[in-house]
Amino acid sequence: MEKLNIGMIGYKFMGKAHSHAYRDIPLFFPNTVHPEMKVICGRDPEGVAAAAKQFGFEEYSTDWKSLLERDDIDLIDINSPSNTHKEIAIAAAQAGKHVFCEKPLALTLEDSREMLEAVEASGVKHMVGFNYRFAPAVMLAKKLVDERQLGTIHHFRAWFLQDWLVDPDFPRVWRLEKDIAGSGSHGDLGAHLIDLAHYLIGDINEVIGMNQTFIKERPLPSQMTGLSAKGSDSNEKGEVTVDDATLFLARFANGALGSFEATRFATGHRCKNSFEINGSKGSVIFDFERMNELQVYFADDRDDVQGFRRVLATDPSHAYAENWWPPGHTIGYEHTFIHEIVELMESFREKRQPVPNFHDGVKCQEVLEAVDLSIEKEQWIRISDVQN
């Protein structure tokens, strides 16, 4: 079996999710290329040493550049904060390494374009981490749209609701700093919705948005912490420089209308990534909290049984399901990453680019930027205007 040597940068939330996927692939997808977990890299020697041991990497390093000089590393997997993506991805591509980068691809559209240029110039493979595409129920929705089972699409409405910032004492973590994160709910959650919209419905022509930072200052954290940070004991406060919530409307190139809502202030909702598609012949509803299910409505069902049916996407006819458990035995969040990385591994076996790749990352960044511009100018912005 062909093998691919992985060098990973970053070892927190996404580093763990990707590592888990690398470990599961030989067991559940034995016929694809096998990832070899070579080196994991991070700034804190103790933290990264512990992660290497726990995740199963052969070695660890505190110097990401050293990974690029090694002949035994084929792919650089970037899980570090968004402000590091550009430098690492471009350097990796120039060193001839394949690149897998977490979303959002970059802090700005311009940066993402430079990243795309670099990977294209060096001819390496490139992938961006839009993992929700890989939930089998989402892939079923895509199949129904592509087969025109839902007819002409009129509406796409999507919402990604979290509530981890409602407490004003939650510390000003790096995700709330524009210089590091690029944006707040917009690039973190909205980026997933935009990617799903591109995947399921197609290109967006124009957008208009609004946003809000509800709490403008927060106590500074005592260390670099993530989503699971508890209240800070610091008296010193720092400015929140990103959006807490961003909402926007969109017109798709195919005539459909879209509405998008991304927020970290939806009290009671921990990670509700959902969309609904309404077409002339039917509708579908996906809710990540019930990620094994797709609700499906067909307008030509008999009158007396009209209604949404609940389809459990765990049968052999559903994407990736044959590699898992017998029908009805459900899968979880981590499986979206496993499927995503199977796509990456398959791209090596089939000698093609994986999807979604940096082209999709740039497309997403175009919409993110157009929405920001529309908020600044208080007007509709055409995507073609930010493309030029």
- Judged by the rule CB under 6 A, the positions of this chain that interact with ligand SOE are 162, 188-189, 227, 271
Provide the 3-class DSSP secondary structure of residue 142: helix
32/162 with CB nearer ligand SOE: 162
Instruction: Please state the closest distance from residue 212 (CB atom) to ligand SOE, in A.
Output: 17
The DSSP element (H or E) to which 42 belongs, if any, is: none
32/183 with CB nearer ligand SOE: 183
C-alpha–C-alpha distance, residues 256 and 204, integer Å: 9
Instruction: Please state the closest distance from residue 366 (CB atom) to ligand SOE, in A.
Output: 19
C-alpha–C-alpha distance, residues 382 and 251, integer Å: 9
Instruction: Please state the closest distance from residue 291 (CB atom) to ligand SOE, in A.
Output: 12
Task: Indicate the length of the chain as a whole number.
Answer: 388
| Cα dihedral sign, 70-128-79-175 | positive
162/283 with CB nearer ligand SOE: 162
Q: How many helical (H) and strand (E) elements, i.e. helices and strands, does the chain have?
A: 12, 17
Instruction: Give the CA distances from residue 170 to residues 33, 182, 301, 333, in Å, rounded to whole numbers and listed in that order.
Output: 42, 20, 49, 25
User: Do 246 and 210 touch, CB atoms closer than 8 A?
Assistant: yes
Provide the 3-class DSSP secondary structure of residue 243: coil
Residues 6+ apart with CB under 8 A from 350: none
Instruction: Please state the closest distance from residue 189 (CB atom) to ligand SOE, in A.
Output: 6
348/358 with CB nearer ligand SOE: 358
249/271 with CB nearer ligand SOE: 271
Instruction: Please state the closest distance from residue 188 (CB atom) to ligand SOE, in A.
Output: 5
Instruction: Please state the closest distance from residue 337 (CB atom) to ligand SOE, in A.
Output: 10
Residue 366: count other Cβ atoms within 10 Å of its Cβ: 22
39/176 with CB nearer ligand SOE: 176
224/271 with CB nearer ligand SOE: 271
86/97 with CB nearer ligand SOE: 86
Instruction: Please state the closest distance from residue 375 (CB atom) to ligand SOE, in A.
Output: 20
Q: Which residue is nearest to ligand SOE (CB)?
A: 188
Instruction: Please state the closest distance from residue 104 (CB atom) to ligand SOE, in A.
Output: 9
C-alpha–C-alpha distance, residues 51 and 46, integer Å: 9
User: Do 78 and 88 touch, CB atoms closer than 8 A?
Assistant: yes
Instruction: Please state the closest distance from residue 134 (CB atom) to ligand SOE, in A.
Output: 12
162/232 with CB nearer ligand SOE: 162
User: Do 223 and 254 touch, CB atoms closer than 8 A?
Assistant: no
Q: Where are the beta strands (DSSP E) in the chain?
A: 3-9, 34-41, 59-61, 75-78, 98-102, 126-129, 153-161, 204-212, 217-219, 237-239, 245-252, 257-263, 272-279, 282-287, 293-298, 309-312, 381-382
- The β-bridge partners of 274 are 159, 287
